[in-house]
Structure 1
Amino acid sequence: MERKRALTYKDVGVDIEAGERLVDRIKPFAKRTFDKNVLAGIGGFGAGYLMPKGYEEPVLVSGTDGVGTKLKVAQMANVHDTVGIDLVAMCVNDILTVGAKPLFFLDYFATGKLSVDVAADVIKGIAKGCELAGCSLIGGETAEMPDFYPEGEYDLAGFVVGVVERRKYITGERIEPGDVVLGLASSGIHSNGYSLVRKLFFEVLELKIDDYVEELGRKVYEALLEPTKIYVKSILNLIERVEVKGMAHITGGGIPGNLVRVLPKGVNAVIEKGTWKVPPIFKFIQERGNVPEEEMFKTFNMGIGFTVVVSPELEKEALDILESSGERAFKIGKIVEGEGKVVVE
């Protein structure tokens, strides 16, 4: 009788040793993000984090998100050290809207066959995002799933926990007619609308990933992989110094679809086009793709990545604080009586 060769986990596509090498590779990146409250970090079964002192009635705020099909662009370009920043940004900017300071972050990296180099680049970007957001990367999961993902592809998810004093929790309920809407400039497309973007760039226009685009002054991958802006430090500085009534992270749905989420009944937000400069990437998409302007505002951030609502008497002070924090900020609209809608005019 013929003796059969022993079957191993590695034979079917799961390399446990590669996973262990990855953990060793990423530990230094993660450790740079640790603060004094981290009890246990990368490599264990669970990560511990002490509740920060100084809160009378702390509210924990959690968020989770991904990067969407922007990952396809990263994989086409073989550039993997920026999408981790996007992952952190999408999560921390969300919980920031209620005034929460991000405390710690975990990631989930899933692929068909693990490339230690690729995964390490991705997680290096996640650690960089955590440094920018002032939070600790204390854990994560690497899942190697043969036959589930095509070769060379991976997916990402992120999870963040933050904290805010209950009496400082920002809901938008105090927004009233006469208030002003401030907009913080985005760094580009951020992480939404990439199904449309990829269709335009790679199918309609038949551009290659490293083609130079004159109108953008950059190669395709450089324009499309610009990381999502992280607003945490600037906004936390702002809310420490002035009263902020409501905030919105401008993601899928654009300004109309996100600012509306913090408007109370009885008011509208009127957004005034022309109060900020729309970046060239959006003009390129609109003109070359023949995309209606209304569709552009529903799909993309159009150059505004985060919005803040304050009383009119605080407008100048708030803008000065934001600009001193390194942000480009503008008054982009006002609050009027209405039925809870966002109007772009």
Structure 2
Amino acid sequence: MITVVEATRQALQSEMRRDPRIWVLGEDIRHGGVFGQYKGMIDEFGPDRIVDTPIAEATMVGAAVGSALAGSRPVVETRFSDFALSAIDELVNQAAKIRYMFGGQGRVPIVVRMPSGLRKNSAAQHSQSLEAWFAHIPGLVVTAPATPADAKGLLLAALRSDDPVIHMEAKELWQVVGEVPDGEEAIPLGVGRLARQGTDVTIVAWSATVHEAIRAADILQGAGISAEVIDLRTIWPWDKRLVLESAARTKRLVIAHESVRDVGFGAEIAATVGEELHGTLNSPIRRVASPRIPVGYAPTLENVYRVRAAGIAQTVAELLGAQLDSKALQGTGLEAALEAY
């Protein structure tokens, strides 16, 4: 049993030992990084492969793109996904398009690590979930693991990919503990995970919201409702087959995500399922996501933004015309995991 921090460190260390072309650049990584994900790596790999940079995201990503074109495989640490917006030109107009524009003669095998989403009292400029922005851009791969095992396996896949990968790591999951297989087996990009089997409704989620979806399924089970939970794992490409097969079986679909509901990636999933399964579902597709507001610093304001198990469970219950016990809806967040954090 290890944390997400340890799992990702294992993945990066093993790949750097295997492939001398991999190097890391970012802010404060010589001292272990904001979340400790690079702890001790400077001692093993030295300052030529663990490179501290100024606070200049455009320069970091631009340098990584140029280095990748010259034959290396850089990993860029952005500290927070919000800060990556300073490098949007380098990501969107350069990294994402070079392979296409040069007919495959040039590739940009970079991994941009973006600690994403809410972190207690981090406020509006340090709390955003921007996966839909990057999924919209042809040429970018977008991952969003929810467990230590997937954090390791997807990072391994990202490090081995010849395309630019936006690796989104939920800030509130860094200290979550789970079983991680031995070995260095990558999880294929674009393959989701059936996190829980069910028969009455399909709940699709990713990143930290997967844990809320599983907790919602526990609540619903107490009311006699069997919920299937899919962990998407990769936002682009996403596992359409897994989602469509599940929704076709259960006849109901709820999509839950921490990012803003309006124009979020949940809308893409809903549209695809609606087009493919038109007329076969027993109820409208529903989304449970964050409101279109900046994240507040105060806990009361932050909690307005959070997507909780109670809200997911209540949405499912409404679809099925069921009533939930109010006591079952209490204490339905990641509180236990966050206490250590």
Give me the TM-score of the superposition, normalised by structure 1.
0.30
Greater Cα radius of gyration, structure 1 or 2 = 1
Greater helix content: 2
Larger relative contact order, structure 1 or 2 (CA cutoff 8 Å, min sep 6):
1
Give me the TM-score of the superposition, normalised by structure 2.
0.30
Greater strand content: 1
